[in-house]
Structure 1
Amino acid sequence: MFNHHKVEIEWGGRPLILETGKIARQADGAVLATYGETKVLATVVSMKEPKPGLDFFPLTVNYQEKTYAAGKIPGGYFKREGRPSEKETLVSRLIDRPIRPLFASGYKNDTQIVVTVVQHDLENDPD
């Protein structure tokens, strides 16, 4: 029914597994990367038609390290995740800068990339 693809490569002496087609099926594209016990989900959604009157490429990149990924749940008075940390903002920029030139010139469709750390083993840096 769904095309599940799995690629395994050797990276730094350990397997890096890239999977697509299993989760986040409503996104235009999604990849689950596994390295050790760390799992990162990257999803991309793009509008089918560009918004009229735009003279720039509207690309949004969000990198999120949720506390539940490391087995920690916010407790005490604040139960919610806070605003993005400085590291999350910098990693979002590190993803945005090299990806932006890969899009065709004149591509004006609103595009959003969300990279979420799903599981973190505290040994392999997820970014």
Structure 2
Amino acid sequence: MEAKKYTMDLAGHKLSLEFGKYCEQAAGSVWVSLDDTVVMVNATMSPVARPGVDFFPLAVDVEEKQYAAGKIPGGFIKREGRPTEKATLTCRLIDRPLRPLFPKGMRNDVQVVATILSVDKQNPPEIPAMIGSSIALAVSDIPWGGPTGSVVVGLIDGEFVCCPTEEQMAASQMHLTVSGTRDAVLMVEAGAKEVSEKVMLDAIMFAHDWIKK
């Protein structure tokens, strides 16, 4: 694949997508940067269906590397540890909007791996990982009905903020993650300080407006 790079503005953040430079044996691969937070996402599929299963074997992995935050594992065990709770929750955020868009009855093993390469401590890696997972599948030959978009919405001083920084999120009344297609919302994950149903619905629609862009 010819190396290509695309850049767009996402609510004041620089979102960059790079293709064709890494992991050329994967079915689909993309290098996603949100400002200085960088995530590499690769998608692969087995050539034949897994026999004897009555479910779709989709596996999503999020690999958090300590070097992404400028750290080196120390102590007695000088290796990367098992996935953190945050990594497990991020896997679920990625899986839930992707899974419904695969063909019904598909039994081929599909694996999506998001490797966090750099974290700038202002932009969490969840959204680049979710966006990258959609794009890696979209550019591959894996049958899938995407693409999807994903954003985080905060509520600060009565105003919705798309993709707030860590500092902004500390002052936010809600933490809302939304994924969807141009036509529909597929996944909502939320935590809030007792906001009204109307505010939550407005926040979801605000997020979907960004997703459609």
TM-score range, shorter chain: over 0.9
**For structure 2, which runs of at least 5 residues remain unmatched after alignment?**
127-213
Rounded Cα–Cα distance in structure 1 between residues aligned with 2:63 and 2:11: 24
Rounded Cα–Cα distance in structure 2 between residues aligned with 1:3 and 1:102: 27
Q: How does 1:9-88 map to 2 (within 5 A)?
A: 9-88=8-87
Given the alignment of the two structures, is residue 96 of structure 1 paired with residue 99 of structure 2, yes or no? no
- Determine what percentage of the aligned residue pairs are the same residue: 48
Q: Please state how far the C-alpha of 1:105 moved relative to its aligned partner.
A: 0.9
Higher relative contact order (CA 8 A, sep 6+): 1
Structure 1 stretches (4+) deviating beyond 2 angstroms? none
Letter matched to residue 46 of structure 1: M
- The Cα RMSD (Å) is 1.1
| Bigger radius of gyration | 2
Q: Please state how far the C-alpha of 1:5 moved relative to its aligned partner.
A: 2.5
Normalising by structure 1, we get a TM-score of: 0.94
Q: How many residues align?
A: 126
Rounded Cα–Cα distance in structure 1 between residues aligned with 2:51 and 2:76: 45
**For structure 1, which runs of at least 5 residues remain unmatched after alignment?**
none
Higher helix share: 2
Deviations 1:52-106 (A, max 9, x none): 2222110000112110111100112120111111100000011001100111112
Aligned residue number for residue 108 of structure 1 = 107
